[in-house]
Amino acid sequence: MSSTIHLRARGLKQTYDLAGSHLHVLTGVDLDVAKGEVLFLRGASGAGKSTLLYILAGLEHPREGTVEFEEKQLFALKGDRQAVLRNQHMGFVFQSYFLLPELTALENVLLPAMIGGRQSKGNDSKARELLDRVGLSGRLDHLPSQLSGGEQQRVAIARALINDPSILFADEPTGNLDATTGAGIIDILLGLAREDGRTFVAVTHDPALAALGDRQLYLKDGHLV
């Protein structure tokens, strides 16, 4: 594994203000993730794991602190440049699959490529290849409602990879699945990340799963230990 830093967070703080009280969820998170590293984030429910992951991926703005991704300051990018960077270099797999219900499996996978404006014939064959890699070549024309939970999550994984992200984020990707299906999903995710040398940052509650990574960190009292 190369020791090039892919993602660097410094002094991340996040506070939510509710009805006059302040919830200090992140109180100073520093993190370096190396290129190609597989990192698992753990911590109690409510510790702020999702919050941290969303900030690292630029999906949420921190109160304070910086995130540097591929040597760019994520929160200093103007206009839609941050969204473009996210679309072209980052993949995200959520606990709920967030597939569009009116689109087929194939169309859902193609969507980020179309949003990115890449109108190439290559996209269609790439989407088919990704669906094949996650074992769904027989489900291309199924709508999400016609797929099992594990199959929907596999479509979401293929969708996260369509633009060839250098980093893949996952927030409890097996949280809604039974243990056997969940283990299969993790095999696929980890396999795809490692085969292609992608950096992988995932939240999990499962210690056995977390042990499969290169490193585990715990979020406690607002920072990583």
Ligand X SMILES: Nc1ncnc2c1ncn2[C@@H]1O[C@H](COP(=O)(O)OP(=O)(O)OP(=O)(O)O)[C@@H](O)[C@H]1O
Binder to ligand X among 37, 38, 42, 51 (CB under 6 A)? 51
Burial (CB count <10 Å: 0-12, 13-18, 19+), residue 131: buried
Binder to ligand X among 48, 112, 150, 222 (CB under 6 A)? 48
Tell the smallest beta-carbon distance from residue 137 to Mg ion (Å).
Answer: 32
Residues that bind Mg ion (CB under 5 A): 50
Rounded to an integer, what distance in angstroms lies between the CA atom of residue 71 and that of residue 90?
A: 14
Rounded to an integer, what distance in angstroms lies between the CA atom of residue 49 and that of residue 25?
A: 9
Question: Which residue is associated with the tokens 């040597």?
Answer: 71
Tell the smallest beta-carbon distance from residue 75 to ligand X (Å).
Answer: 17
Instruction: For residue 19, state whether it binds ligand X (rule: CB under 6 A).
Output: no
- Give the interface segment with ligand X, choosing from 44-52, 117-125, 131-139, 142-150 (CB under 6 A): 44-52
Q: Which of ligand X, Mg ion, none does 3 bind, CB closer than 5 to 8 A by kind?
A: none
Kindly give, in sequence order, each residue whose CB lies less than 8 Å from that of residue 214, ignoring residues fewer than 6 positions away: 1, 37, 38, 39
Phi/psi for 29 (5° steps) reads -100, 125
Q: Which of ligand X, Mg ion, none does 18 bind, CB closer than 5 to 8 A by kind?
A: ligand X
Q: Report which residue type is found at 152.
A: Q
Tell the smallest beta-carbon distance from residue 200 to ligand X (Å).
Answer: 18
Instruction: For residue 174, state whether it binds ligand X (rule: CB under 6 A).
Output: no
Task: List the structure tokens of 20.
Answer: 């006059």
Q: Which of ligand X, Mg ion, none does 25 bind, CB closer than 5 to 8 A by kind?
A: ligand X
